[in-house]
Amino acid sequence: MRSGSSFLGNVLQANPDVFYLFEPLHAIQFAVRDRETFTFLNGTARKYDNFLEVAKLTIAGLATCEMESLPIKTWFNGFFVFSKKAKGTRYCVSMAKTLSESRACVNVTKKACHISSHSAFKTIRIPMDLLEDLMKSIPNLHIIHLLRDPRATILSQKAYGVIPAMRFRQYVTAFCDRVYKDVVSAERFRTLFPDRTMRIFYEDIAKDPKGYAKSIYNFTDMKYTTKIDSEIHSMTYGKVPEDCGQLCARKSNSTAQAEAWRKGAALELVDIIDNGCQPLYLKLGYRNIESERMLRDIKVPLRNSISTFDDFRYA
């Protein structure tokens, strides 16, 4: 959360031939937390004690457009408003009075998925290693692993109100441990599934959105057109609508936005993050911030150049 994933998702959705879903596991995750019973389109029902079990089922169904196998709860997802081809599904399913009517709603979305050249899903809710079995069973499944400076992400989460003040240190350690494990899994996937994983740093794509968009489109075997180029330009240097909201992925200047957190960040909080995230820093090349001056001077890079395993810009 707050890593630039909405922005990257919209880079993919700039292609009109993509079936894109924004956080498709959101409603599922909260339903498992609340111990709800899941109903399916074939009339069966069951409860899940483990969110990751139903998450894996859901991702597999969406990736293959086999949507009749998914819990109906999947479609009660307010975040689908951010998905051009699925935003009407929630309303349709919520108004359905029978399973047959729900099935008709889902079939419309299934058709939109099938006729699209690609499907793309943006999610922050699962660990990378959950996808290993799906990478084996779905040969054309690809992963774009987005990373951001943990200081920027954590401080943005704090400002967003999701980190209890009394547990800040514990949260930092747990967060960076999770990201570290995902990085390790992604590196292992590089060997297991050659050319099917891509690492992207948010700061890099924000500073060169068109260059990295071309890299991503090349990686996903999508055609990069002048229309897509124009849409990405509008996303990164255009006017931001007044009603864009907290999850807005449009930036008037994406380059400045990537470093904006450094202007107001408290050095004492940055120190806590630096101390708690050392294993991740060593893995990804992040530098400790040693002074107030270093923190505020956005010309000072906070990540050393490291050789990433998949730079497609020159492919």
Dump pLDDT digits (tens) for 187-229.
999 999 999 999 999 999 999 999 999 999 999 999 999 999 9
Residue 226, domain extent: 1-14+124-315
138 and 235, same structural domain?
Answer: yes
240 closest CA partner among 228, 226, 254: 254
Query: Where is the domain boundary, 116, 139, 154?
Result: 116
- pTM > 0.85: yes or no: yes
179 and 223, same structural domain?
Answer: yes
Count: domains in the chain: 2
CATH of the domain at 129: 3.40.50.300
Mean pLDDT of 282-309: 89
pLDDT at 244: 47
Looking at every residue in the chain, the average pLDDT score rounds to 90
204 and 76, same structural domain?
Answer: no
Mean pLDDT of 54-64: 95
pLDDT at 306: 62
73 and 137, same structural domain?
Answer: no
Please classify residue 165 by burial: count the beta carbons closer than 10 Å to its beta carbon, then call 0-12 exposed, 13-18 middle and 19+ buried. exposed
Mean pLDDT of 11-22: 94
Beta strands in 234-306 (DSSP E): none
134 and 60, same structural domain?
Answer: no
169 and 102, same structural domain?
Answer: no
Tokens standing for residue 45: 């029902």
Is pLDDT above 60 for 246?
A: no
314 and 208, same structural domain?
Answer: yes
Query: Where is the domain boundary, 91, 116, 141?
Result: 116
Which tens digits make up the pLDDT trace of 159-175?
A: 999 998 899 999 999 99
C-alpha angle 2-241-296 in degrees, rounded to nearest 5: 45
Query: Where is the domain boundary, 83, 116, 149?
Result: 116
106 and 183, same structural domain?
Answer: no
